[in-house]
Amino acid sequence: MTWNLDDFDYELPEERIAQQAVEPRDRARLLVAERRGGIVEHAHVSDLPRLLRPGDLLIGNATRVRPARLRGMKGTGGKAEALLLGPAGADRYEALVRCRGRLREGQGFVFERGARRVEARLEALAEDGRVVLSFAPGADPYALGEMPLPPYIARPTADRQDEERYQTVFARAPGSVAAPTAGLHLTAALLDDLRAAGVGWAEVVLHVGAGTFRPVTEDALHRGELHAEPFELPASTAEAIAETRARGGRVVALGTTTARVLESCARDDGGVEPGAGETRLFLRPGSRLRVVDGLLTNFHLPRSSLLLLVAAFAGRDRVLSWYREAVARSYRFYSYGDAMLIL
């Protein structure tokens, strides 16, 4: 069947978009569903030790979100904002810059936070809107940065609570400009409870890039290719998956970013090849998932690649019916929202 992005739209009242994270993390609500069936129950993330089985393996994305949003001014005056996407050479960074007027090479900026400030120069412009900013030798622009909250969280700047809550408790590898949001629900105590219940834990890394802020195009949908994102799947995780398969356990991906890594490294026998690189994999209805047996994921934006991945796993009509149920039952949506577990 040929799909269009309109097929993955749904209505969401604005008040259903979560503006603050639930405390504690694992008190977020959890819609539990069967992959080829219907909704099983309405629970909480703290119920995971009961919902998963001894011998299952839960895999999380251990990327760490960088404080990548800079605020300041153009050298000629006027507000400016930059989102750092990552290093682009010595003292240079790829970025998205927003300000009034046309961007041009050689343009200067001053970014500030509190009493600290750093100057930058626009060195290069790309057709897709990215730029290269250069900073003084040895300068660390991230030291002035704030958490890059998504635009649907409607407050002017990230606060101190966001610095903690827009980061998973197991984050270790800096590199993302957006959080792997399903992982935001786990606490250290819940991870201990899962281990005590016989559920294994393993990690991958996928650094969420600028593509997450851009809408999916019909062309990308039909080509089956997304923006590239760097990933790593350690040998220890490949071994844990093999051991899980051998004992008859299930591989449960904590979030769509984790699922994307696992399926990028998938073998036909349900195992994975360890390694690192970049993936452009676009999982959408019709894609075959070879590794993932279960998925814990947030409620995603309409027409997004994340929603299409969930639909690839459980079916478009089924997933959208669960979303309608979640709206009717006042679940909270998007990054700081509630979650669903599909088994």
319-333 per-position pLDDT tens digit: 999 999 999 999 999
pLDDT at position 164 is: 95
Stretch 166-177: mean pLDDT, rounded?
Answer: 97
Q: What is the average pLDDT value for the chain, to the nearest integer?
A: 95
pLDDT at position 227 is: 87
At the top level of CATH, the class of 69-144 is mainly beta
37-68 per-position pLDDT tens digit: 999 999 999 999 999 999 999 999 999 999 99
pLDDT at position 295 is: 98
Stretch 258-278: mean pLDDT, rounded?
Answer: 96
User: pLDDT at residue 249 above 90?
Assistant: yes
User: pLDDT at residue 213 above 80?
Assistant: no
User: pLDDT at residue 181 above 90?
Assistant: yes
- Asked if residue 46 lies in contact with residue 58, where contact means CB atoms within 8 angstroms, the answer is no
Q: How far is the C-alpha of 302 from the C-alpha of 145, rounded, in Å?
A: 29
83-134 per-position pLDDT tens digit: 999 999 999 999 999 999 999 999 999 999 988 999 999 999 987 889 999 9
pLDDT at position 314 is: 97
- Asked if residue 191 lies in contact with residue 49, where contact means CB atoms within 8 angstroms, the answer is no
Stretch 252-270: mean pLDDT, rounded?
Answer: 96
pLDDT at position 187 is: 98
Q: How far is the C-alpha of 342 from the C-alpha of 225, rounded, in Å?
A: 25
pLDDT at position 2 is: 80
User: pLDDT at residue 212 above 90?
Assistant: no
283-297 per-position pLDDT tens digit: 999 999 999 999 999
Three-class secondary structure of residue 120 per DSSP: strand
pLDDT at position 1 is: 73
pLDDT at position 27 is: 98
Of the candidates 268, 257, 247, 340, the residue with the CA atom closest to the CA atom of residue 306: 257
Give the list of residues 6+ apart from residue 150 with CB closer than 8 angstroms, or none: 178, 213, 334, 335
Listed by start position, the domains of the chain span 5-65+161-342, 69-144
* Percentage of residues in the chain having pLDDT higher than 90: 88
224-241 per-position pLDDT tens digit: 889 899 999 999 999 999
User: pLDDT at residue 195 above 90?
Assistant: yes
Q: Which residue has the tokens 């600290």?
A: 116
pLDDT at position 121 is: 97
SS3 assignment for 199-238: CEEEEEEECCCHHHHCCCCHHHHHHCEEEEEEEEECHHHH
331-340 per-position pLDDT tens digit: 999 999 999 9
Question: What CATH homologous superfamily does 5-65+161-342 map to?
Answer: QueA-like (3.40.1780.10)
134-164 per-position pLDDT tens digit: 999 999 999 999 999 999 998 888 888 999 9
